[in-house]
Every structure is written in structure tokens, then in C-alpha cells.
Structure 1
Amino acid sequence: MNGLTAWMEKHILPVAAKIGAQKHLVALRDAFIGTMPATMAGAVAVMINAIIRDLPTQFIDGYDGNTIPVIREIIGVNGYVWNGTLAVAGIIFAFSWGFNLARAYKVNDLAGGIVAIAAFLQGVQFSVGATVNVPKGTLTQDALDALAAGDGTGSVIGSSTVTDAVTGQVSEFDTITNNAWGWLKLDHLNANGYFTIMIMGAIAVIIYAKLMQKNITIKLPDSVPPAVSNAFAAILPAAIGLYVVAIINFVVGKVTNGQLLIDLIQEYIAKPFLGVSQGFGILVVVQLMIQVLWFFGIHGTNVMSPVLESVWGVAQLKNVNIFQNGYNGKTGVDAVLDAVKDGEAYNWVRGSFDVYTMFGGSGGTIVLLIAIFLFSKRADYLTVAKLSVGPGIFNINEPVMFGMPIVLNAIFFIPFIVAPIVTTLIGYVATVSGFVAPVSQQVVWVVPPILMSFLATMDWKAPIVTLICMVVAFFIWLPFVLAANKMDPSLGEEN
């Protein structure tokens, strides 16, 4: 075991350290973290609505929170919070991504955030296209004229006929085609836009940053206030970056006969990534990388955050939005389950890792503390455990990681790696089989484990699965705690 640790320390640790310090990945991690004030506010709004609007329907027949005074108003207020947060999470993320990427290049970060938003918004859908056939005579001529006039964008009014294949009867319809411009498509502004933002925002901001670094800017006299000077300096680099993205959007539209780049990225990049993310094999790989990084003292969750948030985080936001808005006429958990069947929602999302593998922190270390309290004879371990149990309840495990320590401690390497993979399997099977509902709420990671699993899924069976995961993890950790009793705490050798 010591030989394996030495080999990994020599060959894997340097690579892991370089990945953890890579500025684009650090900027992406910080961009996701930067959106938390808004996304968590939206998540709280959805969660409150889930508790007062959707959860009671599972136990009370005929319950409708939208008809109950006070509850109805709270639901309405939470809807406004959702409108300004998760409904437009893409815009919020775009600014955060551009801001942090520009900061990584040590140029004007405010301008970087604005460039990223502009690069993103120029490629979203600005028009509403819909065609409706209305039986002839249903609408008066005045109504048809009003539709055609509209707000200046107008609709096209035509006519069509349909012949019944059996009776031969001919029916006439007024065909109304709406091509109104000036309506932003909400599905482009929410988490669906994340992959487009990461790609197109990076292109625009990196061009802007490189030109700023080369001092290709508009220069003003020193007497001009810094705020004005900085804004003018960013004009030329920002414009060039935005024009490059505009040309890409234009060319793609011409080549694809008018398709938007955001739709193509969603179809051919985002969906395949999200589809692959639902396989158990990739979950094992990601969980393994998190644990190995942690074992060497590198914050594995933070290093893997760009992957966790850009793939499983996007999947989670989709689940949250479907829970809020409904799907196929259903709401809440039922809507999410229906959407999963149609591939529009996901069984395993970012919060699933927290619910089923990270109780007490990475490695499920809260059960290690329980095992130490029950079976450890080592005074040093018991002392650290007493200091670590408080933070551990809230999934903060740095005290046990560095105090026990688990970092570079060969005797704990195997359970620290194996326990999360086994509990991932348990949570994955329970979710995919339909025994528990998928995670559909974004719960802050410091919520204690059992409570977290209920709030994250709105399913009373989820805490049972989490408890099973904890018991299994406990028995994985236990033999190594017993083995540690035989080790001399000062020499690390058997007595």
C-alpha cells in the first residue's frame, strides 16, 4: 500500500495539481460558484413551493395550494423569484463566466462579463413562430385584422382546407402564422444555454482578453478618470470579440438554412454529454477522481467542479425547472418522472452525489466518525473525531481529512475510495429503478444528510436509501478502523 501511495504521489499528484491550477478550469469553477446567490435563491423558492404546493398532494386528496389564502400568495411570490433566477440562469451564468475568465487573464473583469452576456444573447431566438388552424367563422374579421396588425410585428392570415378521408367532407380553416419579433425564447435563457455560453462566451472573452493584453485599445489621456479610461480601452477588443462570434452565428445560420447555433450545440453537444452522464461507469470515474484528489490533499470536489456543474449541474437545473413548471400536464415529482421517461429530465444530477455519497463530506466520513466513536481505542482518533463531528453533521470534513488524517494515510485509502463508489451504486440503482424519485431540488450542501435527501427529492423513501448507504459505508470503513487500533500512532507500525 505504501508503494502504491508513493507511485501515485509521484505520477498522479503533479498532474492533478496542474489540472487544479489550470486558469480556464479555475475560472469555470468560480463562474458556477458566482451564480450561487441567484441560483440558491431560486432553489429556495422552488423548494418552498414544493413543500406547500406539491408535497401535500401526495398525502391529501384534492389538495390545491393555489386556492388557499396566504399559501396561494406565497406561491405567487416564489414564482417571481424563480422568474428572476432559475428561469434566466443562462444570463446570470454568462456574466459570471465572462467576469471570472477575464479576471483569470488579469484584464477588466466587468467588461469581460458584459462581453460574455452580449456574445450569448446575440445567438438566442428573438422571434415567436407558431401556426394555428382555426375553423372558418370562429374568429370575426375584426379579430383577424387585430391579429394581423398586432404590435407592429403582425401575423400572416391565410386559409386552408382539410378533406375527411372517410366522409369526403371539406372543412375550411383560417390559418394564422405568427412571426412576431422581439420575444426571447425562455428555453434559450435558462440552463439550456450553459454549453453555448461556455463555448461562445469563451471565444469572445478570450479574444477580448488577448487584445487587451497586447494593448490593442483606444487610449485616452491620463487626465481622464480611470472608470472612463477603462471603459474606452475595452471597446475595441470587446467589439472584435463580439464580431467574431457574430460571424460564426451568421455562417452557421447560412450553412444550416437558418438554424441557430444554440440549438445545434444543445442537440449535438449538450444532449450527448448529458446522456453519457447517466451511465454508471462515468459516475464511477468521476467519483474515483474526486476521492484520489482528496487523498493527496487537493480539494477533489472543487477541482472536479467544472465537470460536475457543467454536466450534472445543468441536468439538475432542468429537473428543478420541470418540477416548477410541470410536464405533460403533471406537476412536481410526477412531472419529473414523466420527463425522465421522455429524456427531458435526468435520474442522476449534481445533488445525487451529495445525497448518496457525500454524507459528512467526500468519502462519507460521518460514518467513519461513528465507527471511531464505537470501536476505536486510539486516543488521537477519538480526539479528532470529537472535534470533527460537529462540522461533519453539516458535511464539512476538512477537520477529519487533515486532522485524522485521511490525506496520505495508507490504511484509510481503500475505504475512502471504495465506500463512495458502492454508495453511488446503491443510490443509482434506487433512482433508475424508480424506487426513489430523482433529485429535483437544489439544496445547499451543508444541510444534514437525512434531511437533505428528503428535501432534494421530495420523496420520503430517499432518506431510507441514504440511511442504507450510510450503513453500508459504515461496514466498509469499520475493518480499517479496527486495523488502525493495532497501529502505533507515533510510528505507524503494528504494536
Structure 2
Amino acid sequence: MDKYMDKVLIFADKISNNKYLKAVSNGLMATLPINIIGSIALLLAVLPIEAWKNFISTINIGGYFSVGYSMTVGVISIYASFLVGHRLATEFNQSAVPAGLVSMFSFLIMTPLITIDETTTLDMSKLGAQGLFTAIICGLVFSRLYCFILEKNISIKMPEGVPPFITDTFAGLIPGIISGFIAIIISWLFGFTSYGSFSDFIYQILATPLQSLSSNVGSLLLIVFIQMTLWFFGIHGSLVVGSFITALYMPMDVQNMDALAAGVARSELPNILSKSFYDLFSGIGGAGGTLSLIIVILIFSKSKQSQTVAKLSSAPGLFTINEPMVFGLPLILNPIMAIPFILTPLVQTLIAYLAIWSGLFPRLSGVQVPFGTPILINGFLAGGWRIALLQLICVFAGCFLYLPFVKLMDKNNEKNEDLSNENGKLGSMKETV
């Protein structure tokens, strides 16, 4: 077991500390403020309340809400290309802002052009969800190229006494020119292919198959299973799989928001699964769906230890913070609780998927709700009262899964607590004698 654990720890450490995966995960997570602003603008533009529609039509502000969405989520790939490149340069201890700018203009060079009414411009559809994988690749490749050139000291050296900001500017000039020239050549060469552009090549060869994979609920269940298995062995599984979740499922949120902005009905949105789906249903209250466990312990448990931990964990659990429960009960390496701890988020994910797939509950709009928003409130913001109701159903399902195991754990705890009390009494009698 020790040898197995060592191998698992080494593998998990390599994944969670991989510079490129961290750059992708942190870079995409850094787009969250942009996504939230765009999500709010979209909600205000399409809010299905007749009085509100009439009001925004009267004051003629609806178009501005649409612009707010178009300039945030609608061009999310521009922000992502900069932020991924920025984060990667930070990992290599190089100037982050110039690296992010090189990544961004390289991505824009790679974006195909279209002609509308004799005006040639960038294809806006490739600046949103369709261009996200191209943005990630450009962020990684060109930022790393920029850092590599600087590491080899291929730069313009300024004499002593020149202000540092000027020195940094000229130091990045040659790496920036080389990176931009390479991006231009690649873009030009792809113009001779059947794909027409590098962006279309990436979308057809890489993005489409990956999105087909991520639209399969089995793939998400496998990711959640790996996450929970790592958690059981004391490894922060959410950090390990976070990069994959963000890269695979955030584009699906953006696709749903684009469709909603285009007037598509909620029932006709392209994706059931998305990052917001994972955040809302794949472990309500934190990894393991521990909000259900807290409820079961508070209602049914007679163990003083379990009750104390549950009471301390109840408030954080409502905000999806469950470390007090995971480490305080504990759930890590707890053979009694292993089955429900791993199984609950899987069941919650499957129940939510089937409920939305059947049409009983609406598809998620893709709106990004900040981490830490209380349970049910986050569901309401992401999809309305019916999504909040679906969260509640999933919580009750988790309660049924945890209940028999909590009772079994109670028996063991009560024995230990009784034994401890008896030892305490014997100790007091000895002191009296």
C-alpha cells in the first residue's frame, strides 16, 4: 500500500505542478471576472419577464447589454490567449505582460479573415468559444517561445543607466518580433491547405473531438471518480482534475451563452454538460457531496464527535467549503465512509444529467457563478428556480446514500466514546483512592 501510495502521490504531484497545465487552468480561471460580467449582461438582455423586457425596450438599453456580452464572453478567446501566456511566463520567471501580449497578437494573426460587404475583418465566431483551443495553444506555444529566446539571452542589451522599463521593453523586442514572424508564416502556410486557417484546423482536428468527448456523461463520471479516489487517499483531487475540467467544459458554457444570446430557447441549447454543470452538481457542498453528509449527521447521528464536526462544517459547507468535514471527521482513508464519499458525487452528477436530458429541467445557460456562492442561490443564478430544485433533489439523494454508513460509523464512535468515558471514570477513582 505504501509503494502504491508513493506512486499515486508522485503522479498527482506531477499533474498538479505541471507548468503548462497550471498555466491553462490558472489562465482560464482568470477569465472568470470577464465571464461573470458577460453573464450578467446576457441575463439582463434576455430575462424572460415581460415587464423587464418592456422597460429595457422603452429606455433603449437592451442593445448595450448585448454589446457588454459581445465584448466579454463573445471574444473570450482574446482574453484567454493573453492570460494563458501571462501565467506560463510567470511559471518560467519571465516578464509576464510582454509574453501575454505576444501570445495574444499571435492568436489574432492565426484567426481567419472574412469579407462582409467588401470589408475584410476578423471572423468574430473564432474569437469566442470556437477559438478557445487555438487561444490556449497560442498562449502556451508563443509564450514559451518568448521565454526560451529570453533564456538564451537573444535580446537587445541597453547600456547601464537606462531606466529599467526601457531596458525590459527592448529586451522583449527581438523575442516578440521572432514570435510574430513565426505566427505570420504559420498562418500564411495554412492558407494553402483545405482547412484555410490554423484556427479552423485546430477546431476540426482537436476541439471538435474533445468537445464530443466532454459531451459524454461517461467522461465526466470518470473524471469525478478519479477526483474522489485521489481525495480518499488524501490528495487534493479537485486541484488535479481542475485543469481538465476547465479546458474541456468551459467552452461548452460559452457555446450555451452564445446560443442564448442569439435567441435560442433554453430547451434547445447545445450542451447539457459544462463547467457550470460540474460546479453545481458534481459534489454539492464540496468534493464528495458532503452537504448531504452534514445534514444526515445533524439529524440522525448520536455521536458527539460527528455532531461537533458537522456543526462546525455546516456554515462552510453551504459555501462549498468542506475541508473541515473532510479532514475533521475524517473522510480521508476512512474505510467506512469510502463508498458514499466516492459514490455520492457520481450519483448526483448522473441524476442531474438524466433530469436535464429528459427535459424535466432546463439546460444551463452557461452563466458563470462565482465560487463560494451559497448552494441553491448558485443554482438559481445559473438556471432559475428549477435548477435550484434539482440541486435540492441531488442533496436528498446524497442523504440516502450517506445514511446507512453514518449509522455504521455511529456504532463505532459510540463504542470508542463509551470506552473513553469508562477509562476516564476509572482514572478519577484511582486519583480519589
TM-score (norm 1): 0.79
Deviation at 1:488, TM superposition (A): 4.4
Deviation at 1:179, TM superposition (A): 3.6
What code does the residue aligned with 2:376 have? I
1:443 aligns with 2:381: no
CA distance in 2, matches of 1:273, 1:237: 32
Instruction: Please tell me whether the aligned partners of residues 356 and 427 of structure 1 are also in contact (alpha carbons under 8 angstroms).
Output: yes
Instruction: Please tell me whether the aligned partners of residues 200 and 245 of structure 1 are also in contact (alpha carbons under 8 angstroms).
Output: no
What code does the residue aligned with 1:239 have? I
CA distance in 2, matches of 1:289, 1:71: 52
Q: Aligned to 1:381, which of 291, 294, 306? A: 306
Structure with bigger helix share is 2
Deviation at 1:70, TM superposition (A): 8.0
Instruction: Please tell me whether the aligned partners of residues 384 and 403 of structure 1 are also in contact (alpha carbons under 8 angstroms).
Output: yes
Deviation at 1:457, TM superposition (A): 2.0
Query: Equivalences for 1:260-339 in 2 at 5 Å?
Result: 260-327=197-264, 334=265, 336-338=266-268
Instruction: Please tell me whether the aligned partners of residues 205 and 238 of structure 1 are also in contact (alpha carbons under 8 angstroms).
Output: no
Q: Which has the larger radius of gyration?
A: 1
Instruction: Please tell me whether the aligned partners of residues 277 and 283 of structure 1 are also in contact (alpha carbons under 8 angstroms).
Output: yes
2:332 alignment partner, SS class: coil
In terms of mean alpha carbon deviation, does 246-255 or 473-482 score higher? 246-255
Instruction: Please tell me whether the aligned partners of residues 65 and 72 of structure 1 are also in contact (alpha carbons under 8 angstroms).
Output: no
For structure 2, the 5+ residue unaligned runs are 421-433
1:218 aligns with 2:156: yes
Deviation at 1:121, TM superposition (A): 0.3
Name the counterpart of 1:9.
5
1:106 aligns with 2:93: yes
1:36 aligns with 2:23: no
Instruction: Please tell me whether the aligned partners of residues 488 and 494 of structure 1 are also in contact (alpha carbons under 8 angstroms).
Output: no
CA distance in 2, matches of 1:98, 1:422: 37
Task: Return closer, same or farther for 1:82/1:401 CA change in 2, 3 Å cut-off.
Answer: same
Aligned length: 419
TM-score (norm 2): 0.90
CA distance in 2, matches of 1:314, 1:252: 24
Task: Return closer, same or farther for 1:492/1:410 CA change in 2, 3 Å cut-off.
Answer: farther
Name the counterpart of 1:346.
271
Instruction: Please tell me whether the aligned partners of residues 439 and 456 of structure 1 are also in contact (alpha carbons under 8 angstroms).
Output: yes
Instruction: Please tell me whether the aligned partners of residues 204 and 238 of structure 1 are also in contact (alpha carbons under 8 angstroms).
Output: no
1:390 aligns with 2:320: no
Deviation at 1:48, TM superposition (A): 3.5
CA distance in 2, matches of 1:73, 1:290: 48
Task: Return closer, same or farther for 1:401/1:212 CA change in 2, 3 Å cut-off.
Answer: same
Instruction: Please tell me whether the aligned partners of residues 351 and 456 of structure 1 are also in contact (alpha carbons under 8 angstroms).
Output: yes
Name the counterpart of 1:26.
22
Deviation at 1:20, TM superposition (A): 0.8
Instruction: Please tell me whether the aligned partners of residues 487 and 493 of structure 1 are also in contact (alpha carbons under 8 angstroms).
Output: no
1:358 aligns with 2:276: no
What code does the residue aligned with 2:370 have? V
Name the counterpart of 1:86.
73
Give RMSD over aligned pairs: 2.4
Q: Aligned to 2:345, which of 420, 425, 431? A: 420
Instruction: Please tell me whether the aligned partners of residues 320 and 442 of structure 1 are also in contact (alpha carbons under 8 angstroms).
Output: no
What code does the residue aligned with 1:22 have? N
1:230 aligns with 2:156: no
1:430 aligns with 2:355: yes
What code does the residue aligned with 2:262 have? N
Task: Return closer, same or farther for 1:210/1:220 CA change in 2, 3 Å cut-off.
Answer: same
CA distance in 1, matches of 2:419, 2:204: 58
Partner deviation per Cα, 1:270-318 (whole Å, 9 max, x = no partner) = 1211111111220111111221232334332232222111111110111
CA distance in 2, matches of 1:186, 1:358: 36
1:127 alignment partner, SS class: strand
Query: Equivalences for 1:19-168 in 2 at 5 Å?
Result: 19-50=15-46, 53-54=47-48, 56=49, 63=50, 65-68=52-55, 72-73=59-60, 75-129=62-116
1:128 alignment partner, SS class: strand
CA distance in 2, matches of 1:112, 1:384: 47
Deviation at 1:95, TM superposition (A): 1.0
Deviation at 1:412, TM superposition (A): 2.0
1:411 alignment partner, SS class: coil
Instruction: Please tell me whether the aligned partners of residues 360 and 397 of structure 1 are also in contact (alpha carbons under 8 angstroms).
Output: yes
Task: Return closer, same or farther for 1:453/1:23 CA change in 2, 3 Å cut-off.
Answer: same
1:471 aligns with 2:396: yes
Percent identity over the alignment is 31
Partner deviation per Cα, 1:147-199 (whole Å, 9 max, x = no partner) = xxxxxxxxxxxxxxxxxxxxxxxxxxxxxxx4422x22221111221100111
Instruction: Please tell me whether the aligned partners of residues 25 and 247 of structure 2 are also in contact (alpha carbons under 8 angstroms).
Output: no
1:240 aligns with 2:178: yes
Deviation at 1:410, TM superposition (A): 2.7
2:412 alignment partner, SS class: coil
Deviation at 1:109, TM superposition (A): 0.5
Task: Return closer, same or farther for 1:8/1:476 CA change in 2, 3 Å cut-off.
Answer: farther
Deviation at 1:244, TM superposition (A): 2.1
In terms of mean alpha carbon deviation, does 401-410 or 24-33 score higher? 401-410
Name the counterpart of 1:165.
none
Task: Return closer, same or farther for 1:493/1:84 CA change in 2, 3 Å cut-off.
Answer: farther
Task: Return closer, same or farther for 1:76/1:179 CA change in 2, 3 Å cut-off.
Answer: closer
CA distance in 1, matches of 2:38, 2:81: 17
CA distance in 2, matches of 1:385, 1:489: 16
CA distance in 1, matches of 2:9, 2:396: 31
Deviation at 1:46, TM superposition (A): 2.1
Task: Return closer, same or farther for 1:418/1:42 CA change in 2, 3 Å cut-off.
Answer: same
CA distance in 2, matches of 1:71, 1:116: 43
In terms of mean alpha carbon deviation, does 68-77 or 389-398 score higher? 68-77
Structure with bigger strand share is 1
Instruction: Please tell me whether the aligned partners of residues 66 and 72 of structure 1 are also in contact (alpha carbons under 8 angstroms).
Output: no
What code does the residue aligned with 2:321 have? I
